Amino acid sequence: MLVIDQHALHERILFEQLRGRIRAGQLEVQRLLIPEPIDLPAEQAALVLEAADALHELGLEVSDFGGNTILLSSYPTLLGRKPPHEILRGVIDHLLTQERPPTKEAMLHLLMATMACKAAVKAGDKLSADEIAYLLHLREMAEDSHHCPHGRPTSLLFSRQELDKQFRRT
């Protein structure tokens, strides 16, 4: 019996799609008609502005709006399921947990993983049969369908013997 973690699998698929598009220079970006102002504590606003180049490479265009407010002007269309400010806030939360600023390559990996995580379906979300079938189809095309970008398994395989053991059958 194969048990799949839909969130971890979708996160892996989004991560690989995002990484592939960035490497190929084909990341589709949605510009916001009206840039979204986001009020942040001073430390967070400074952190976002320091990471602006890396964020821009990921399709998140941010700029200083004055005070502790930043403007979010674009986001990757690949992550369109979630509101853009939620994606950015997830990235900010992750950056705040870092003890020291990561290298640019490490930052891009962390940001892509965080963006994919925030945009992926959640563990309790109800998926239609078509959505499940499509997710399983994409699983077959993933480079590493066994782990999410954070290292968690996307599925667990239980053999008949393991199930019999759990039910105390021998």
Query: How many domains, the chain?
Result: 1
Place of tokens 């105390």: 168
Tell me the pLDDT of the chain (170 aa) as tens digits.
999 999 999 999 999 998 888 888 888 888 989 999 999 999 889 988 988 888 888 888 999 998 899 999 998 887 766 788 887 887 788 778 877 766 767 777 877 888 888 889 998 899 999 999 999 999 999 899 999 998 999 999 999 999 899 898 87
pLDDT for position 41 = 93
- Looking at residue 80, its pLDDT comes to 67
Task: State the virtual CA torsion across 156, 159, 160, 162 in degrees, nearest 10.
Answer: -80
Q: Is residue 168 part of a domain?
A: no
- Single out the residue of 90, 29, 20, 93 nearest to residue 59, CA to CA: 29
Q: How many residues does the chain have?
A: 170
Q: What is the pLDDT of residue 135?
A: 93
Please report whether residue 167 resides in a domain. no
Q: Does 84 reside within a domain?
A: yes
- Alpha carbon dihedral 12, 13, 19, 20, in 10-degree steps, equals 150
pTM: 0.72
Q: Is residue 97 part of a domain?
A: yes
Query: Could you give the count of Cα atoms lying within 13 Å of 6 in the half-sphere of its Cβ?
Result: 15
What domain range includes position 113?
2-162
CA 128 to CA 131: how far, in whole Å? 5
70-87: b (≥16 Cβ within 10 Å) or e: bbbbbbbebbeeeebeeb
- Evaluate whether residue 80 is within a structural domain: yes
CATH of the domain at 146: 3.30.1370.100
Give the rounded distance of the alpha carbon of 90 from its chain centre: 9
Asked if residue 170 belongs to a domain, the reply is: no
Q: Is residue 19 part of a domain?
A: yes
Q: Which two tokens stand for residue 23?
A: 């490497």
